[in-house]
Structure 1
């Protein structure tokens, strides 16, 4: 047994006090006169012996009390094997999952672990070196923020950098990857570790898997369905999922999935066609794993589709009725002979009625327009003759047909993806429109055909974005404009060249993010802005494609505005979320780690997650096994013994 404070033994001189009390206080006598003491001699002798024994026992208990109390102050300890491996390195896990609540605590695991470090630094200032999972040095009472990109701890690399002596204290939430990725390090008996897990039961969690838009493919309404795919890890119980737009609640769902299950839920959206971007968030009310309770994403609306109708003479009321005064379309009708073709780029769809004045200049302009991936619709008038120009649009062997009778169209092939969601089924004797063909060809994908095999509507072009009719759709040549196929066919064509509404989001562990935005000039210096935080990442802009290299530890989850660093012009928003790996990993509990390291003498698992447990262990590591508390108990028992002797022995 060793003594921490040997100077306390000077207090042993206090042992003389109860001895003096015994010698003087208990030897005072009182005289009592009796007329005849003959009968009291035997009783007097017995009482005298009892009092002597009682006084000796009281003296002994008082001496023991003083001795044990002095020993308590001297702080004796038994030297232990732990004293040869004092804790001198603390590794603090700052990965995102440590923002979850510690079990039974009001603070997150990261906050609780930092509080532990602060207390330990105050008590052992000369012994402790503190680093994070990336090897960066830390100080007590630092304002610690998570490392949102990092999701792993490589102990071998950290120990090589900071030395292998002593014991290493690991403060983490102990996701399974923390232990599993370092099994070889923990099995090395030349290294010693102390771990203190914050969970006695592994908490359940909701994991955001993916989000996408599911809507009417014809887009004839503004309603869309936003689909959320989520998974459960463990058993989080009954959880509410809410969808918000700019802190405004749009919808709410309640799920009660079984352990480790998957679920898909939908929310109806009433899209604002004039709002190009919508900032949306999914929120859950998980009780413990709270760091990833919000999922940020941006919905990019396609906006109105710009449709241009070019014709030579009269206004086509049938086509105008489809697109004019429609919330989904911006429609213009121009004379093709007076039109400035430089404006073609402003439109998503160009419908061209080709007449006798259709020439090579117009064909070249329309060919360039289609080459940009825009949707082009060609409709011949009865006086169209320049069939040789159609070879530029992918039609071969085009020949003009002589005036002939109207021919009925065949039933459409509902297996063709073009007709998806237009027909559920077709009848054999379905009433089809009829038309008088102006020309014929032998190429392209035929979408609608006459019963004689001639094409009525074909699709060509590298991007399959050129649609050509073989007949005029005027009422004098065809009743197609009066048929039920007219509206869905033209709407399908109009939306075929327009990208669907999409949702976009990024994860914080992505080093480089790339996206396209044609509104940003090539020489622009971009910045990311969120609240009072402004960052200028490394960037590359080329042809509308933008690549940003994210700062390693400065980006946090949420929405960041992408702006011009000089003019502060706002371009778009970027949505960032915590890495999936941080949410998907389950945790090792205290009992799990006890069982896992039951045969490993170099790994000490502290079962209780509190500062006193850790302080006691560090003191034992520093000084050996403390005995002062046991001497304090013995001192108190000595006092109790004195009280019992006085009361029970008469």
Structure 2
């Protein structure tokens, strides 16, 4: 590792010179009788030659092994070459967890130094590919100087990658470089939540994996897991409530922490945090805002161990003026009225269905047809126009024996019809997690969730062109609530009426949130808190946005065009898939309105626990999987099962042995007392 120490080999000449100098000394020995002279001379010379040669060899070997101990010799792993070209893929985990301190330095800095030494000590002609979480692909292999510069430029990133992705990219690089084998050097802290089971043998067939752990002492970390508003819209000059879930991972903090709530940079509320044995708590903070428009809500705590996850952000629009039109056949529906009048963020207008044709629907985000027993051609065309314009509609049909009167207008909308009435009492058995209503309501559907019950229901059928998606469905597959997107807007059709005589759906805790989400889909979202790395889109409705006038995401120093796809009257924008760094971003296009989105970090990095390397070696083992460690000198060396004993230690032991042998020979050389 340190070849310049070999220059000290010139000191090997010192024992040789001492040996030659001693051979030039002569000593006169007096004998009482000359008849023993020949025998004594022969014996003395023989023993002297043996003793001096052994002493010289011991001194030479002592210096030899001492010099090599400082030079730290090692046997390199078998080089993987193809056509004389060597490929080393160096992955450095630069996720947030690698920013934790390991002594006076960050774990990331220690990994970078070891990787830099690896590059400098590599054989001439070795090709490198440097990968990180925010640079998951390499366009071409690099020379030593380029790889060294790339390693030095690495810094902490909000992005995270799985080991499968790194292995796949290593295989692509191997093929691009026409190398038969590639070495993947994996510098990471090997978090418990981020390092899965080993890839398949097929993926690793031409790859040698070198696991190089960089792990600090585990410490506790308090972080904000999630937060959400208790209302679907932010209300001005009234108390708004935000529920905050905080967790403690590892050692509990010695002192209570403070949780602050800020709106547009001004602190509005605070709470003191302390944890029990459950290591989690739920707090509700209250605040008020004045004026309309987008508000930037930040929740922050003063945890000094790991700071990247101490802030949770929510972008909420105050007074969005979402408008809902409820057209009733007969009496007003008290459940619909109670749902929307509970919050002043919605404007509900109820009217008789007989006035539907004369009413302008364009100003409404959601149109509800309640208790309808007949949809004629004129009503059907009116519904089709609203859907073509991208509005949302919800139909709660009334019970009637003249089903054809309903189908007459439904066929104007799409290939949708009601075929019969099922009078059996049935409970919904399935909640479709892929539905926009469900995925915005639940992060994960509870196992014991109670689904609504229908005392009767229409049997709904639809053709392929209607793009049917069930939200709630019965055991036999019939939908209880179905979504259709035959055009830009979304049509929600319930198989039963919205009254308690038809079932408990209006009284269930699905009814009101579903109506809220239907209305918000027609006018865009009013609350956004997106997780970095999320593959789920956010729905945006902005005027003047098209394929030629694309939506941009702006922040100080950031101008990104996120992936976007038309959906009804708006766009599905994959913000979390493109943006990596937490913060508030403005989504807008030239000449269009703007929407604000809050981006939060992935909570997987908040768990400070590391995988046990010994246990990991038992899982990840094979001829092409090896484990190394970063030694005190900053170089990587073999460790764990099957690791070789460091050669420099062997050299030190042998040098001590040679020193002992020299002492023994010198002791024998001393004359015995008379």
8 A contact 2:90–2:130 mirrored in 1: yes
- 2:612 matches 1:612: no
- 2:175 matches 1:153: no
3-state SS of 1:194 partner: strand
How far, CA to CA, are the matches of 1:592 and 1:220 in structure 2? 55
3-state SS of 2:210 partner: strand
| Structure 2 equivalent of residue 270 of structure 1 | 288
8 A contact 2:246–2:282 mirrored in 1: yes
3-state SS of 2:114 partner: helix
3-state SS of 2:149 partner: coil
Distance verdict in 2 for CA 1:227–1:105, change over 3 Å: same
8 A contact 2:322–2:364 mirrored in 1: no
Structure 1 unaligned spans of 5+? 29-52, 308-327, 331-346, 355-359, 377-393, 396-461, 464-494
How far, CA to CA, are the matches of 2:518 and 2:619 in structure 1? 58
Q: RMSD of the TM alignment (CA)?
A: 5.8
Q: Which aligned pairs between 1:21-420 and structure 2 lie closer than 5 A?
A: 21-22=21-22, 64-73=58-67, 82=77, 89-94=88-93, 96-107=95-106, 109-124=107-122, 126=124, 127=126, 129-132=128-131, 134-136=136-138, 139-142=147-150, 143-144=153-154, 148=158, 150-154=160-164, 157-158=168-169, 160-161=171-172, 162=174, 165=181, 168-176=184-192, 179-182=195-198, 184-185=200-201, 192-199=208-215, 201-206=217-222, 208-214=224-230, 222-235=238-251, 237=253, 239-258=257-276, 261-272=279-290, 274-302=291-319, 348=347, 365-366=358-359, 368=361, 373=366
8 A contact 1:216–1:224 mirrored in 2: no
Q: CA deviation at 1:98?
A: 4.3
Q: CA deviation at 1:146?
A: 6.1
Distance verdict in 2 for CA 1:78–1:510, change over 3 Å: closer
Q: Which has the larger radius of gyration?
A: 1
- 2:586 matches 1:561: yes
How far, CA to CA, are the matches of 2:638 and 2:208 in structure 1? 17
8 A contact 2:233–2:317 mirrored in 1: no
In the comparison of the two structures, how many residue pairs are matched? 459
Q: Please point out which of 540, 545, 551 is paired with 1:516.
A: 540
Q: CA deviation at 1:157?
A: 3.0
- 2:585 matches 1:587: no
Q: Which aligned pairs between 1:598-637 and structure 2 lie closer than 5 A?
A: 603-606=625-628, 612-614=634-636, 625-626=647-648, 627-630=650-653
Deviations 1:156-194 (A, max 9, x none): 534543367475431112123554331645998997543
- 2:35 matches 1:17: no
Q: CA deviation at 1:560?
A: 1.6
Structure 2 unaligned spans of 5+? 29-46, 325-342, 370-396, 399-492, 495-515
How far, CA to CA, are the matches of 1:541 and 1:218 in structure 2? 27
8 A contact 1:96–1:578 mirrored in 2: no
How far, CA to CA, are the matches of 1:576 and 1:232 in structure 2? 22
Q: CA deviation at 1:573?
A: 1.9
Deviations 1:597-617 (A, max 9, x none): 6x8676544466765351587
TM-score, normalised with respect to structure 1? 0.54
3-state SS of 1:587 partner: coil
Q: CA deviation at 1:116?
A: 2.0
Q: CA deviation at 1:233?
A: 3.9
Q: CA deviation at 1:588?
A: 0.5
Q: Which aligned pairs between 1:465-480 and structure 2 lie closer than 5 A?
A: none
TM-score, normalised with respect to structure 2? 0.52
Distance verdict in 2 for CA 1:96–1:218, change over 3 Å: closer
Deviations 1:311-360 (A, max 9, x none): xxxxxxxxxxxxxxxxx989xxxxxxxxxxxxxxxx946699x9xxxxx9
3-state SS of 1:222 partner: coil
8 A contact 1:197–1:589 mirrored in 2: no
Distance verdict in 2 for CA 1:120–1:129, change over 3 Å: same
Name which structure has the greater RCO, CA cutoff 8 Å, separation 6+.
1
How far, CA to CA, are the matches of 1:605 and 1:503 in structure 2? 47
How far, CA to CA, are the matches of 1:610 and 1:6 in structure 2? 21
